[in-house]
C-alpha cells in the first residue's frame, strides 16, 4: 500500500484532452479485434447480471472475495472518494486523466506504477474462473496506450446503485425519525392535556367558587369574630384557626405567640384551648372536630357557609367534658347558696335565680365573695357577651349597682371602693367598666375572660 500511495503522489497532473489524444493514438497503433470486443462485452453483461443478483441477495463471505474487496478498498481510493492525504476526488481516471485497465475481464484496476510490469506480467486472481484466452491473442496494452472501454463505469460492482440506495435509505431514515419525533411530541402533549384535565376535574380537588358578595360577607363575619375573640378570650389561651382567621386575630391585637394556624397536614388541635371553626376548618376536619373534640360553643357568628363558631377544645372527648361541666356546676350551686346568706350582698330576682342554678363562673363567685367582705354590694344580674353560646357555658360577668345606700358613700367614693376591693382580690376580673343597661340603669360590669376554668371550686378534672 505504501508503494501505491507514493506512486500516486508522483503522477504528474494531466492536462485535459491529453489522455483522449493518447487513447486515440493507442487505438490506432493497436486496434482491438472484433472477437476480443465481443468477449469483453459478453463478460460485461455477465458481470452486470451477477452484480444485480448480488444486490438482491446478501453475499456469502469467501476468502477470494474478501481478498478482492480488501485489495479494491486499498487500491481504489479513486472509487472511495478520499486518499490518505485527504483529497476528495471521484477516481483517478477522472482527476488524473488516466484510463483504467482491465486486470481480468469484468474487474477494473487502478494504473500501474511507472517502471513496473503491466497487467500481462502480473495477472490478478479473478473472483471466479474465466475462459482461457485463445492462443495467439495480442498482449493487452498498458494504461497509457489503452483506449477507454465504452460503458466501463456500468461494470463497477454496484457502486452507483449502492450509493443511490444509501441516499434513499438515509432520506427515509430522516423522514422516519422526524415522523417519530412528531408523534412522540403529540403523544406527550396529549398525555399532559389528559393529566391537566384530570387534575382540574378531579373530585378530590376542592376549588370553591366564591362570588365577590360572598367574599365581602365572609370578611365581615370574620372581622366580627376576630374582635370578639380579641376582647373575650384570655391572653393565655392557645387558639387554633385557619390562616385568614388567624391573620384577622393578630391584626386586631391578639398575641401571635398564642395562635396556631391549621393547614392540610395539621392534626386535631387537641392541645389548644379554643378552636375557631370556619368553613376552611370544616373542609379540613369535617364535623368530627365539633362533635368529638370541641363540643361546647362559646360564641357563634354568621350563617351558612360564612358561619363561624368559637369552641372550647375538649381533649378527652365530649363525654368527659360533660362530666366536668356537670361537676363544676354542682359546686357553683353550693357557693351561690352561701352567697345568698351574706347580709352585705343584695340581689335581684334574676340574680338570685342564676346563683341558685349555679350558672355564674367560679372565678366571678369568688371575686364577689371577696368584695362583699370589704363593701356592701348590690348584684343586678349575671351574664355573657357571647351570642349563640351554649347554655351550659358559665356566665362570666356580673353587673353591680354603682350606688348602695348601705355603703353610706357617695357615688364616686363608692365606685372607688368597689374598684379597690376587686384589685385586692385573688381573682381579679379581666374587665371593670361602667355600662348603661337597656333600662337606662348605669352599672359597674366586672368580667372574666373565656374559657371558664373547670374544677376551681369543686372536684378537679382528670388530667
147 and 179 share a domain?
no
Q: How far apart are CA 422 and CA 425, in angstroms?
A: 5
* Within-domain flag for 463: no
Predicted pLDDT at 41: 67
Predicted pLDDT at 49: 65
Predicted pLDDT at 308: 98
pLDDT at 314 over 80: yes
* Within-domain flag for 207: no
Which of 141, 172, 198 is the C-terminal boundary of a domain? Answer: 198
* Within-domain flag for 205: no
Q: Give tens-digit pLDDT for 114-132.
A: 444 444 444 444 444 444 4
Q: Higher pLDDT residue, 151 or 255?
A: 255
Which range is most confident: 207-211, 286-290, 360-364, 422-426?
360-364
Q: Higher pLDDT residue, 26 or 260?
A: 260
Which pLDDT band, with edges at 50, 70 and 90, does 263 fall under?
very high
Predicted pLDDT at 154: 44
173 and 79 share a domain?
no
267 and 385 share a domain?
no
What is the DSSP pairing of strand 397-401 with strand 431-436?
unpaired
- On the CB side of 455, CA atoms within 13 Å amount to 10
69 and 144 share a domain?
yes
* Within-domain flag for 374: yes
* Within-domain flag for 232: yes
pLDDT at 103 over 50: no
Q: Between helices 34-56 and 159-201, what is the axis angle to 10°?
A: 20
Q: Higher pLDDT residue, 298 or 202?
A: 298
SS3 444: strand
Read off the pLDDT of each residue in 434-463 and give the average, rounded to a whole number: 88
Q: How far apart are CA 308 and CA 224, in angstroms?
A: 10
Predicted pLDDT at 421: 94
Predicted pLDDT at 403: 87
Please name the residues in contact with 9: beta carbons below 8 A apart, sequence gap of 6 or more. Answer: 85
* Within-domain flag for 89: yes
Predicted pLDDT at 316: 93
pLDDT at 157 over 70: no
Q: Higher pLDDT residue, 52 or 388?
A: 388
127 and 192 share a domain?
no
Predicted pLDDT at 211: 85
Read off the pLDDT of each residue in 274-294 and give the average, rounded to a whole number: 95
SS3 29: helix
Percent residues over pLDDT 90 in the chain:
49
Please name the residues in contact with 207: beta carbons below 8 A apart, sequence gap of 6 or more. Answer: none
- On the CB side of 398, CA atoms within 13 Å amount to 30
Read off the pLDDT of each residue in 278-291 and give the average, rounded to a whole number: 95
Cβ-in-10-Å burial (0-12, 13-18, 19+) of 274 comes to buried
Q: Shortest CA distance to 93 belongs to which of 109, 114, 113?
A: 109
395 and 332 share a domain?
yes
37 and 147 share a domain?
yes
Read off the pLDDT of each residue in 329-348 and give the average, rounded to a whole number: 96
Beta bridge partners of 395: 360
237 and 272 share a domain?
yes
pLDDT at 235 over 70: yes
pLDDT at 232 over 90: yes
* Within-domain flag for 454: no
113 and 187 share a domain?
no
Q: How far apart are CA 334 and CA 350, in angstroms?
A: 17
To 10 degrees, the CA torsion angle through 59, 64, 68, 74?
110
Our count of domains for the chain comes to 4
Which range is most confident: 52-66, 101-115, 395-409?
395-409
149 and 9 share a domain?
yes
Cβ-in-10-Å burial (0-12, 13-18, 19+) of 452 comes to buried
Q: Between helices 212-232 and 243-251, what is the axis angle to 10°?
A: 50
Which range is most confident: 127-131, 160-164, 270-274?
270-274
Predicted pLDDT at 189: 53
Predicted pLDDT at 292: 94
Predicted pLDDT at 214: 85
378 and 425 share a domain?
yes
Q: Which domain holds residue 181?
A: 158-198
Per residue, the 3-state secondary structure of 227-261, as one string, reads HHHHHHECCCCCEEECHHHHHHHHHCCCCHHHEEE
Q: Give tens-digit pLDDT for 365-397.
A: 999 999 999 999 999 999 999 999 999 999 999
Average pLDDT, rounded, for the chain: 74
Predicted pLDDT at 406: 72
Percent residues over pLDDT 70 in the chain:
54
Predicted pLDDT at 457: 84
Q: Give tens-digit pLDDT for 73-96.
A: 444 444 444 444 444 444 444 444
Which of 292, 312, 332 is the C-terminal boundary of a domain? Answer: 312
- On the CB side of 27, CA atoms within 13 Å amount to 11
Read off the pLDDT of each residue in 65-72 and give the average, rounded to a whole number: 43
Q: Higher pLDDT residue, 352 or 67?
A: 352
Read off the pLDDT of each residue in 416-424 and give the average, rounded to a whole number: 94
Predicted pLDDT at 167: 65
* Within-domain flag for 101: yes
Q: How far apart are CA 70 and CA 126, in angstroms?
A: 14
Which of 255, 290, 312 is the C-terminal boundary of a domain? Answer: 312
> Please, where are the H alpha helices in 390-457?
411-423
pLDDT at 47 over 90: no
290 and 334 share a domain?
no
Amino acid at each position: 500500500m505504501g508503494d501505491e500511495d507514493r506512486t500516486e503522489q508522483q503522477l504528474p497532473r494531466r492536462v485535459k484532452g491529453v489522455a483522449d489524444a493518447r487513447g486515440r493514438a493507442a487505438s490506432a497503433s493497436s486496434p482491438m479485434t472484433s472477437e476480443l470486443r465481443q468477449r469483453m462485452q459478453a463478460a460485461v453483461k455477465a458481470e452486470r447480471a451477477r452484480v444485480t443478483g448480488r444486490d438482491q441477495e446478501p453475499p456469502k463471505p469467501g476468502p477470494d472475495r474478501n481478498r478482492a474487496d480488501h485489495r479494491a478498498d486499498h487500491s481504489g481510493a479513486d472509487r472511495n472518494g478520499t486518499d490518505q492525504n485527504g483529497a476528495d476526488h471521484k477516481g483517478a481516471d477522472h482527476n488524473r486523466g488516466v484510463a483504467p485497465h482491465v486486470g481480468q475481464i469484468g474487474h477494473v484496476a487502478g494504473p500501474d506504477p511507472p517502471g513496473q510490469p503491466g497487467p500481462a506480467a502480473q495477472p490478478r486472481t479473478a473472483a471466479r474462473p474465466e475462459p482461457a484466452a485463445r492462443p495467439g491473442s495480442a498482449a493487452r496494452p498498458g494504461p497509457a496506450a489503452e483506449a477507454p472501454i465504452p460503458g466501463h463505469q456500468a461494470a463497477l460492482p454496484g457502486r452507483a446503485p449502492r450509493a443511490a440506495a444509501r441516499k434513499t435509505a438515509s432520506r427515509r431514515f430522516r423522514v422516519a425519525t422526524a415522523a417519530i419525533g412528531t408523534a412522540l411530541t403529540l403523544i406527550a402533549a396529549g398525555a399532559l392535556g389528559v393529566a391537566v384535565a384530570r387534575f382540574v376535574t378531579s373530585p378530590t380537588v376542592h376549588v370553591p367558587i366564591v362570588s365577590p358578595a360572598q367574599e365581602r360577607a365572609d370578611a365581615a363575619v370574620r372581622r366580627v369574630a376576630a374582635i370578639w375573640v380579641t376582647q373575650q378570650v384570655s391572653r393565655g389561651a392557645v387558639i387554633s384557626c385557619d390562616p385568614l382567621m388567624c391573620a384577622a386575630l393578630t391584626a386586631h391585637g391578639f398575641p401571635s405567640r398564642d395562635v396556631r394556624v391549621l393547614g392540610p397536614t395539621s392534626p386535631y388541635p387537641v392541645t389548644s384551648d379554643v378552636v375557631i371553626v370556619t368553613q376552611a376548618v370544616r373542609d379540613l376536619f369535617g364535623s368530627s372536630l365539633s362533635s368529638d373534640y370541641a363540643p361546647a360553643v362559646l360564641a357563634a357568628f354568621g350563617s351558612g357557609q360564612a358561619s363561624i363558631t368559637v369552641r372550647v377544645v375538649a381533649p378527652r372527648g365530649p363525654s368527659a367534658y360533660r362530666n366536668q361541666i356537670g361537676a363544676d356546676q354542682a359546686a357553683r350551686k353550693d357557693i351561690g347558696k352561701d352567697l345568698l346568706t351574706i347580709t352585705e350582698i343584695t340581689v335581684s330576682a334574676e340574680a338570685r335565680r342564676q346563683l341558685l342554678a349555679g350558672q355564674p363562673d367560679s372565678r366571678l363567685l369568688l371575686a364577689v365573695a371577696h368584695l362583699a367582705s370589704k363593701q356592701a354590694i348590690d348584684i343586678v344580674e349575671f351574664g355573657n357577651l357571647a351570642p349563640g353560646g351554649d347554655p351550659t357555658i358559665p356566665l362570666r360577668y356580673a353587673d353591680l349597682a354603682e350606688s348602695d345606700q348601705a355603703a353610706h358613700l357617695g357615688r364616686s367614693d363608692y365606685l372607688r371602693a368597689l374598684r379597690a376591693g376587686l384589685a385586692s382580690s385573688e381573682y381579679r376580673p379581666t374587665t371593670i367598666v361602667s355600662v348603661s343597661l337597656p333600662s337606662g340603669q348605669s352599672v359597674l360590669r366586672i368580667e372574666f375572660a373565656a374559657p371558664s376554668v373547670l374544677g376551681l371550686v369543686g372536684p378537679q378534672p382528670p388530667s
